[in-house]
Amino acid sequence: MTNHEQSDRGTQSQMLEIAIEEARQGLSEGGIPIGAAIFDRHGNLLGRGHNRRIQENDPSIHGETDAFRRAGRQRTYRDKIMVTTLAPCWYCSGLVRQFGIPTVIVGESTNFRGGIDWLRENGVEVIDLNSAECIKLLADYIRANPAVWNEDIGVE
Amino acid sequence: MTNHEQSDRGTQSQMLEIAIEEARQGLSEGGIPIGAAIFDRHGNLLGRGHNRRIQENDPSIHGETDAFRRAGRQRTYRDKIMVTTLAPCWYCSGLVRQFGIPTVIVGESTNFRGGIDWLRENGVEVIDLNSAECIKLLADYIRANPAVWNEDIGVE
């Protein structure tokens, strides 16, 4: 993938589609519908995952962390792209910063803005696709499950 | 535990001892010797863990994340204390901020400073015990395994 292709909205949407599939898989399991995937700069999928708070009783597995862990150990993250249906929280924003992932594609930042301004201030390219599908998928879940959502982002 | 007792160095050192046990356990498994534990404000241990990058081929399991996940889902983190042998990286600092953990006790910040200044700026109480034992345990490991250490903090 060239730089030109990386910035192509169609390619970005195809990558987001994987994250959306993960979010829908999570929902079908009874979980919070947030999904993510990590690609290299050539567009090869390295890891994909979704929020598993409910399924595994594990508060650490946000979608981004699940995709990150499933990608296994990588020599570098400087050539990786994190794609997620929702703007990453502080935890997952910290993941992006610590490991030097240069590009994050988010499906939306309407339901939750997370740390994307902080990431941008620290040199991370954040591309917000403002996906109506992503917005609705999570908004419907939050409306039906406000307590679980608040728990997932540490709000009381 | 009263506020007075919480600020007692002896109690803090006892909590750190659990994290050090975890770090030593990780080292005995061939892993990076960083450990952590989560307590409630009464001093009850809720979860303990250690870095498992090597052992589980999983880059997401820093000590803090391991302790966090093993504590399971909690109704609130406002009354919790995170104890870790090493200052938390951006990823684990983000965890602390996202879930509103008010107090972090670190064994040391000499080998790695992580996000502790940022946590303090954001209202988190960070207590640095400047433990010679923690400093030596990790420094020895880093000296013998510089590539693994750099991988663990995303440095190339």
CB-CB contact of B119 with B127 (8 Å): no
The conformation of residue B56, written as its DSSP 8-state character, comes to H
Q: How many helices (H) and strands (E) does chain B have?
A: 8, 5
Q: Which one is catalytic: B64, B108, B133, B151?
A: B64
> 3-class DSSP state for residue A16?
helix
CB-defined contacts A:B, below 8 A? 86
% chain A with pLDDT above 90: 93
User: Would you say the ipTM is above 0.90?
Assistant: yes
The torsion region of residue A99 among left (phi > 0), alpha (psi -120 to 50) and beta comes to alpha
CA distances from A114 to A132, A143, B80, B139 (A): 18, 19, 22, 34
Q: Which among A73, A94, A151 is the nearest to B91, CB-wise? A: A94
Q: pLDDT for B111-127, tens place per residue?
A: 999 999 999 999 999 99
**What per-residue confidence (pLDDT) applies to A4?**
52
**Residues from chain B contacting residue A86 (CB–CB below 8 Å):** none
Q: pLDDT for A61-90, tens place per residue?
A: 999 999 999 999 999 999 999 999 999 999
Which residue in A has a C-alpha nearest to residue B154's C-alpha? A99
**What per-residue confidence (pLDDT) applies to A156?**
85
Q: Which residue has the tokens 């972090």?
A: B104
Tell me whether residues B73 and A53 touch, CB distance under 8 A. Answer: yes
The answer to whether residue A3 scores a pLDDT higher than 70 is no
Active-site residue numbers of A? 64
The answer to whether residue A28 scores a pLDDT higher than 70 is yes
Query: Which stretches of chain B drop beneath a pLDDT of 50?
Result: 1, 5
**Residues from chain B contacting residue A53 (CB–CB below 8 Å):** 73
Tell me whether residues A69 and B53 touch, CB distance under 8 A. Answer: no
**What per-residue confidence (pLDDT) applies to B82?**
98
**What per-residue confidence (pLDDT) applies to A7?**
58
**pLDDT, chain A, mean:** 95
Q: Which among B74, B153, B156 is the nearest to A98, CB-wise? A: B153
Residues of chain B that touch chain A, judged by Cβ-Cβ distance less than 8 Å: 53, 57-61, 65, 68-69, 72-78, 89-95, 97-100, 115, 151, 153-154, 156
Q: Which residue has the tokens 């001892």?
A: B17
Which residue in B has a C-alpha nearest to residue A94's C-alpha? B91
Q: pLDDT for A111-153, tens place per residue?
A: 999 999 999 999 999 999 999 999 999 999 999 999 999 999 9
